[in-house]
Amino acid sequence: MNSSSMTELISRRLGAFGLKCRFIPYGRIAEIREEFERKVADGSIDAEVYSRYLTDMNFNLPADISPVRSVILVAALQPKREILFTVDGHKVSGIIPSTYDHEVDSMVMRIMHEAVSHSPFKFARARLPLKLLATRSGLARYGRNNVAYVDGAGSFCRLMAFYSDIPATDDVWREPQMLDQCIDCNACAKRCPTGAINGDRFQVHAERCLSFFNESAEPIPDWVTPDMHHCLIGCTRCTDCCPANKDTRAWVSTRCEFSREETAVILGAASTTTLTPELELLLKRSNFEEGRELFPRNLRLLVDRPA
């Protein structure tokens, strides 16, 4: 099968599951790398944010794909997941924003594996700045909140990228754009509880973002007040209030429910870095891998949140 039929086949098969994709010529990645490394060097990416999240964004190529010819960027629109807990006879809702849900990754990989299975082509997961790739390749535009809005789907899209030896047949590459709707709208900045989105620069002040604190086992500083917490992990304030997400923000699917006894066991956990085997088993029911050890501390924050 030739490369243009392969890009079409993969796009079509992913598209059948509502997934959008772009094939980006590998040569374009040098520009992303230069921009990313410049921001690290000039300090516009905060040093702590860099060391916590971005050290493995090293642009290393997979050893078994030679030459790498493209990066395949995939966007999956997903619902938020809700986990219900029981406290004092009431249900407490623990929302997990859509992009923490990794289950779709294995579906994407399976679809792509099947597509390339009778061809010499290969692909492998790539750790790259995904919003930059999405916005420069024309798949998305930035909102004022610094999140990527996929055309026609909004921002509740999990992004992922893969290196591949499939040549890209198109080369759409543009300066990152902001949504037209954002020009006269400041809803996200007004709604951001921590002042991470403000007028002094476009790029979010990551080191002030609520997600930066509740994704970490470090103690949450006192200036982050109890009323700010609203998710089991992450934050949905700047995306939920966004007019460009009006059609998708209410999409919530309930994943599982914990009884009063089970909730008490979860709330009783002291550590934010390890789970006891009992808790591990219990929380496995939620199907979440990312940040699961933080759920007890973060659930406590939701339970103690002022009404």
Which stretch of DSSP H or E encloses residue 261? helix 260-267
291 near ligand B12 (CB under 6 A): no
Nearer to ligand B12, 9 or 132 (CB): 132
Nearer to ligand B12, 167 or 193 (CB): 193
CA end-to-end span of the chain: 60
Compute the distance between CA of residue 13 and CA of residue 22 in angstroms, rounded to an integer.
13
Residues 211, 217, 221, CA angle at the centre, nearest 5°? 65
204 near ligand B12 (CB under 6 A): yes
Tell me the closest approach of the beta carbon of residue 88 to ligand B12, in angstroms. 27
Size of the site for ligand B12 (CB under 6 A): 38
Compute the distance between CA of residue 46 and CA of residue 43 in angstroms, rounded to an integer.
6
Tell me the closest approach of the beta carbon of residue 223 to ligand B12, in angstroms. 16
Only segment of 111-119, 123-131, 240-248, 269-277 that touches ligand B12 (CB under 6 A):
123-131
Q: What are phi and psi of 259, to 5 degrees?
A: -70, 175
158 near ligand B12 (CB under 6 A): yes
162 near ligand B12 (CB under 6 A): no
148 near ligand B12 (CB under 6 A): yes
Token pair for 24? 């980006």
Tell me the closest approach of the beta carbon of residue 99 to ligand B12, in angstroms. 4
What is the amino acid identity at position 4?
S
297 near ligand B12 (CB under 6 A): no
Is residue 133 within 8 Å of residue 32, measured between CB atoms? yes
Q: What are phi and psi of 239, to 5 degrees?
A: -100, -35
Compute the distance between CA of residue 40 and CA of residue 57 in angstroms, rounded to an integer.
11
Compute the distance between CA of residue 101 and CA of residue 258 in angstroms, rounded to an integer.
19
Tell me the closest approach of the beta carbon of residue 254 to ligand B12, in angstroms. 18
Only segment of 15-23, 108-116, 124-132, 286-294 that touches ligand B12 (CB under 6 A):
124-132
Residues 240-279, one symbol each (x = binds ligand B12 by CB under 6 A, - = not), give ----------------------------------------
Q: How many CB atoms lie within 10 A of CB 216?
A: 14
Query: 130: which DSSP letter?
Result: H
- 298 phi-psi bin (left φ>0, alpha ψ -120 to 50, beta other): alpha
Residue 75 burial (C-beta neighbours within 10 Å; 0-12, 13-18, 19+) = buried
Which one of 6, 21, 112, 159 is in contact with ligand B12 (CB under 6 A)? 159
203 near ligand B12 (CB under 6 A): yes
Please name the residue ranges forming H helices in 24-116: 29-42, 47-49, 103-116
126 near ligand B12 (CB under 6 A): no
Only segment of 115-123, 175-183, 244-252, 292-300 that touches ligand B12 (CB under 6 A):
175-183
Nearer to ligand B12, 229 or 279 (CB): 229
173 near ligand B12 (CB under 6 A): no
Tell me the closest approach of the beta carbon of residue 145 to ligand B12, in angstroms. 4
Return residues touching ligand B12 (CB under 6 A).
35, 39, 45, 49, 53, 97, 99-100, 129-132, 142, 145-148, 155, 157-159, 176-178, 197, 202-204, 206, 209, 211-212, 215, 234-236, 238-239
